[in-house]
Structure 1
Amino acid sequence: MKIHDQLNRIIHVDDTPKRIISLVPSQTELLCDLGLEEGIVGITKFCIHPKHLKNKITVVGGTKQIDLSEIIKLQPDIILCNKEENTKEIVEACEGICTVHVSDIFNISDSLEMIKQYGAIFNKEKEALIITQNIEQEASAFNDFMQNMESKKVAYFLWKTPWMVAANNTFINYLLKLNKFINAYEDKSRYPEVELNALKPDTSVELVLLSSEPYPFKTKHQKEIQVYYPNAKVLLVDGEFFSWYGSRLLNAFKYFKSLHLNLQNNQPD
C-alpha cells in the first residue's frame, strides 16, 4: 500500500505494521484507542496516557531527543512522528531504520485525516471511523453551544522563565478560536517569548489561561501573572485538551463547555 503522510511524503506499507514506535504522546494515546496497544514497542517519556504504558513499554527518549540505538534494538516496522513535536533530524534518522509517518496538525480536519490514515495503515478502518465520527459529533454540538457566547480576549501561557504563549499558526490557537477566544498574541507566530511589564499592564485582556503543560502552572502563578493583566480572570486549564489532537478530542469539547459554564457562573476553575 502506498500512502501520503501529512507532509505529502509517499510511504510504502507492504504489510500491516506489527511493531510500532510512537514519538508523539497524543498519537500514542490514539493508537491505544484504536486497539493497537499490544503492537506498541516504544514510546517517549512524555507518553503518559494510558498511565500504565511506561511500566510495560520501552521508553526511547523524549520528543526532541531519542536513543537511536534503543530504537534499532526494538526492530520497529513503523515509527510515528509529528512535524512540530519531533525534529527534522529525528525523522531523517528514523527513516534509516524503517517506515516513518509524519503528521502535521493545525485543525480538526488535519486530526481526522491523521486518524483515518492510521486506520488504513494499521487495518483499523472501522475503529478509526467510529472515533472520527464521534469527534465530529462532539465538535458540532459544541459549535451549537457556542452560538450565543460572547468573544473574550485571552492570553494562553504554556511556559515560564521565559514567559511564552501560544500564538498564531498553532493547533492551540485554532481551538481558542473555536471557543470564541480572541488571542491577544495572534499577531505573533507559534510560541513566542513575551516581555511582561508590571509598569505597563495590559488592561485589554479579559482572560488568562495557564496551561498544565508543558510548564506545570500552579495556583501561585495565578497571583503572579495577575499583576500584568489586572482586568483578567486567571484560570488554570488542562493543556492536553487544548493541544492534544488525537482521540483526546473525544472529551475536549465537554471540557470546553464546562469551562464556559464556569466562566458564566463565575465559579473557580
Structure 2
Amino acid sequence: MITSFPQRIISLVPSQTELLFDLGLAERVVGITKFCIHPAEFCRHMPKIGGTKHFHFDTIDGLQPDLILANKEENYKEGIEQLQQKYPVWMSDIYTLEDALHMISEVGKLTGTQSKALEISVQIQTAFAGLQAVSRKKVAYLIWRNPYMAAGSHTFIHDMMVRCGFENVFADHVRYPEITPEMLADANPDYIYLSSEPFPFSEKYIAEFKEICPESIIKIVDGEMFSWYGSRLRLSVPYFRQLLELLA
C-alpha cells in the first residue's frame, strides 16, 4: 500500500511520463522507458529502465522506486507481475477520453498534485467540448506494416476517431486486427490514415496504399495526437481541427 506521496517514481508509459512532468513532478521521477520522449530535455537525461515491453529489472532495483506507473495495454503482464512482488505498481487501463481524464485525476491524487491535475483535465474537457465533428468520413487507421494492422473498436484511437466524426471501417474488429490488402480494399475507406507510431509510416509508403485503394486519400497523421492519453491531449484538439478543416 502507498501510505505517503511517492518521492521516487518510475514511469513505464510515455504519455504518463509527460503527465508527471506537467504535474510538476520532474524532481520525483527517477526512471523512464526508452520510448518516453516528451518533454525532450527532461527525458534525454533520465535513467532508462528498458522498453515498455521489456524491463531491465536490475536497473529498476537500483533506482528503488516507491511508485511505478504502468498501463495494461502498453506494458506486459509478466513484467508487471514481477515488479508487483517488490514495488507499488499503479495500473491504468484506458479506452476512452473519460478513462484518460480519470487516470489524470488518479495520478494527481497519488502524487499530491490534485489541483494541477484538475487544471489539466478541465483544459482537455473544454477543448474536446468545442470540437466540431465533420460529416462522417470512412477512415482506416493503420498502425503497423508487415503485417498490416489497424485500430479497431475498444481502443483509445477509435474513441478519438469517433469524436472527430469519423466512421472507423474496422470498428467491427476488436483492438488491433491484422488486415490484408483485400480487406482494406473491400472496406473502401474515404481516407487511409497512416500513423507515425508505433510503426514509423512516412510519405514513402503512400504509393503502396494507393495501389490497394486508388480512390482513397492517404495521409500521414501524428500518432501521438490519436493515442497519447495524458496531458498531450491538450494538443490533440487543435491538431484534429486542422485535420478536419482539410475534409470540410
TM range (shorter): over 0.9
SS of aligned partner of 1:205: coil
Say if 1:202 and 1:230, in contact at 8 Å, map to a contact too.
no
* Superposition pairs of residues 245-264 of structure 1, within 5 angstroms: 245-264=229-248
Match of residue 140 from structure 2? 155
The question of whether the paired residues in 1 share the 8 Å contact of 2:9 and 2:68 is answered with yes
- TM-score normalized by the length of structure 2: 0.97
Q: Which residue of 2 aligns with 1:172?
A: 157
Structure 2 CA distance for aligned equivalents of residues 54 and 128 of structure 1:
21
Q: Which amino acid aligns with 1:37?
A: A
Q: 1:30 to 1:203 in 2, by over 3 A?
A: closer
C-alpha displacement of 1:201: 3.3
1:122 matched to 2:104: no
Letter in 2 for 1:241: M
Candidates 206, 215, 231, aligned match of 1:231: 215
Deviation at 1:165, TM superposition (A): 0.6
- Aligned positions of 1:81-92 closer than 5 A: 81-92=70-81
Count of matched residue positions in the alignment of Structure 1 and Structure 2:
248
State the SS of the aligned residue for 1:101: strand
User: Which ranges of 4 or more aligned residues in structure 1 deviate by more than 2 Å?
Assistant: 200-204
**Is the Cα–Cα contact under 8 Å of residues 201 and 230 in structure 1 kept in the other structure?**
no
Q: Which stretch of the first structure deviates more once superposed, 97-106 or 225-234?
A: 225-234
Shifted more, 15-24 versus 93-102: the winner is: 93-102
Q: Which whole-Å CA distance do the structure 2 matches of 1:54 and 1:245 have between them?
A: 18
For the Cα contact (< 8 Å) 1:152–1:181, is it kept in 2?
A: yes
Give percent identity, aligned residues only: 43
8 Å CA contact 1:78–1:101 kept in 2: the answer is yes
Further displaced range: 129-138 or 50-59:
50-59
Aligned partner of residue 81 in structure 1, secondary structure: strand
Shift in Å, 1:189 = 1.3
The CA distance in 1 between the partners of 2:135 and 2:159, in whole Å, is: 17
Matches within 5 A, 1:10-29: 12-29=1-18
* Cα drift, residue 92 of structure 1: 0.8
Aligned to 1:15, the other structure's residue is in SS state coil
Say if 1:135 and 1:250, in contact at 8 Å, map to a contact too: yes
Q: Deviations over 1:55-81 (max 9, x none)?
A: 321100000000011101101000000
Distance 1:260 1:80 in 2: 34
Q: Could you state the TM-score of these two structures normalised by the residue count of structure 1?
A: 0.89
Alpha-carbon RMSD across the aligned residues, in angstroms, is 1.3
Distance in 1 of aligned mates of 2:29 and 2:160: 29
Unaligned runs of 5+ in 2: none
In structure 2, what residue type is equivalent to 1:179?
Answer: C
Give per-residue Cα distances to partners, 1:132-159, cap 9 Å, x unaligned.
Answer: 11111001011xx22xx21011100011
| Structure (1/2) with the larger helix percentage | 2
